[in-house]
Structure 1
Amino acid sequence: MARIHAFEFEDQTWFPGVVREYMTDFLSHMGGWSKIPYQPFVERLAEALRRTGDARVVDLCSGGGGPALVIAGELRQRLGRPMEVVLTDLYPRPSRRAHARSVLPGWVELEARPIDARQVPEDLEGFRLVCNGFHHLKPHEARACLLDAVSNRRGVALVELTQRSALAVLQVAIGTLTLLAVSPFIKPFRWTRLLLTYVLPVVPLCTLWDGIVSCLRVYDPEELEALVRQLPSSGYRWEYGRLPVPRMPTQLTYLIGTPPADP
């Protein structure tokens, strides 16, 4: 199946912020349920962090931050040392600060500035991570994201817990039904969330559409390799591919790049 960069509601500047917020709340809620799907990726990411020695991870395109918090918690256990995490997004969510701090007290922060993954401010030092968000970038934007990391000699990694397949689309449809079941329990509780879920079902319909389109947009390993080949020769160590997801009939796609060691 060829990659199709179709329309997603969340990418639009005119899209109502409250609906975007409730959609990312749901994705964060679901993404934070289990650490199991990300374990194969975390093993490789931990190896990369040992090579670079970074003590901070800068998560780009964080949304609600659910998967990044799960991955960060696993990293801290595997590395056996403190690991600061900074959540960033083009549409930052200051309201998620308290939740993030409750999940990882003392070592997680939310960046208040809008952060573009294609041009990260130099003061945001650390190993860059994109969890389930790289598909939002068109090919030239995806290349710019990787190039910015290479130009600043930052480690960079991405993971996508979906792929371009009929099974992935089916999983999105089932997940949207889950939204109807869990919405009253998503924190913080909002009456408007229930209104836009059950009375005027804008949130589930937009979530379903964006979820299906996300499957169509995901880069496969061959496309990631093509992006890497367009980068200047820099001595970076790259690895990319697919990994089986434990206890699930699916695979995740990942890429990890680390700069050469300083002489």
Structure 2
Amino acid sequence: MKRIHLFEFEDFHWFPNFLRMSMTRYILTMHRLLGSADDVAQLLAPVLKRTSTHQIIDLCSGAGGPMEEVKQVLETQYDFSNLSLTLTDLYPNTEVAAQINAQKDPNLSYLTEPVDATNVSKGKEGLRTMVCSMHHMRPETAQNILRAAQQDRQPICIYEISDNSLPFILWWLAIPTSFLMVFFLTPFVRPLSFRQIIFTYLIPLLPIFIAWDGAVSNARTYTLADWDEILAQLPSDNYTWKKGIIKGKAGNKMYLIGEPV
């Protein structure tokens, strides 16, 4: 397996939440620039139609990611009406959950109780999604997440903004470039807080953490060959898997989709 499991700063419980939120806002900016919402919507639309479901259960949502925008794209560009999106996490982000739930949208919510991606409770049927979060999981956990979807006969879509096909050393050589990019892209972050500015330009902690976590995320991303190794241990008589690469100007993205037969 090419994928290696190193640490990311934002995974640590002791990591200051205001820095984690600042990093999350920067990552959301990257998602907008890379067109992640369009990519994910394009992947989800045919699955939603084939499975006749209007419910999306986002797993490991963290600070929400691009899924709200994905829902908007599906409604406006793919004509999905009454589409429901539920964000979940084993450790829900209470601040983001409060902001989302305050919108009083009956078709959009963030559950404040913990949801284990390896054991999603009954009553949460729908298309499961994991956007740039599966790389945080060790192989055994990743396999259990896929097995749970298969056993529950629910479709699942995994999406990562890297396919980890480049030689390992290149991810580390890219750290200086990623460090410098933070200074240029931070003005596009929304909302742009004073903390984001201070810890980017005056005390450059965010560029360091973002550059490191970005390189590690790429190294932790499962390759298509890695998925073959994991899926080989799952039965395939009542469930189908499709994996591939989405090619883009800013690099390739990886996806894995599972559906019940």
TM-score by structure 1 length?
0.83
* C-alpha contact 1:156 1:257 (8 A) present in aligned 2: yes
1:1-263 aligned within 5 A:
2-33=2-33, 35=35, 37=36, 39=38, 42-76=41-75, 77-97=77-97, 107-164=107-164, 165=166, 174-183=177-186, 186-245=189-248, 248-260=249-261
Give the CA deviation at 1:100.
Answer: 5.1
CA RMSD of aligned residues (A): 2.9
Q: CA deviation at 1:141?
A: 0.8
**Does structure 2 conserve the Cα–Cα contact (< 8 Å) formed by 1:225 and 1:240?**
no
Identity %: 32
Distance in structure 1 (CA, Å) of the matches to 2:180 and 2:74: 31
| Contact 1:22–1:193 (CA under 8 A) maintained in structure 2 | yes
Tell me, yes or no, if the aligned pair for 1:58 and 1:88 is still in contact at 8 Å. yes
More moved, 39-48 vs 12-21? 39-48
Query: Secondary structure of 2:74's match?
Result: helix
Whole-Å separation in 1 of the counterparts to 2:183 and 2:254: 28
| Separation (CA, whole Å) in 1 of partners of 2:32 and 2:100 | 11
* Distance change >3 Å, CA 62–CA 32, structure 1 → 2: farther
TM-score (ref. length: structure 2): 0.84
Structure 1, unaligned runs of 5 or more: none
**Which digits, 9 at most, give the CA deviation of each residue in 1:11-39, with x for residues without a partner?**
2222222222211121123313464x554
Q: Is the 8 A contact 1:46 1:79 kept in 2?
A: no
What is the deviation of 1:120?
2.4
Determine helix, strand or coil for the equivalent of 2:66.
helix
Residues 194 and 87 (structure 1), Cα distance of their counterparts in 2 relative to 1, 3 Å cut: same
Q: Assess if the C-alpha contact under 8 Å between 2:241 and 2:257 holds in 1.
A: yes
- C-alpha displacement of 1:173: 5.3
Paired residue total: 257
Unaligned regions of 5+ residues in structure 2, if any?
none
Cα shift at 1:258? 0.9
Q: Would you say the 8 A contact 2:97–2:111 is kept in 1?
A: no
1:192 to 1:40, Cα distance in 2 relative to 1, 3 A = closer
- Aligned 8 A contact 1:162 1:168 in 2: no
CA distance in 1, matches of 2:178, 2:104: 26
Q: How far is 1:103 from its partner?
A: 10
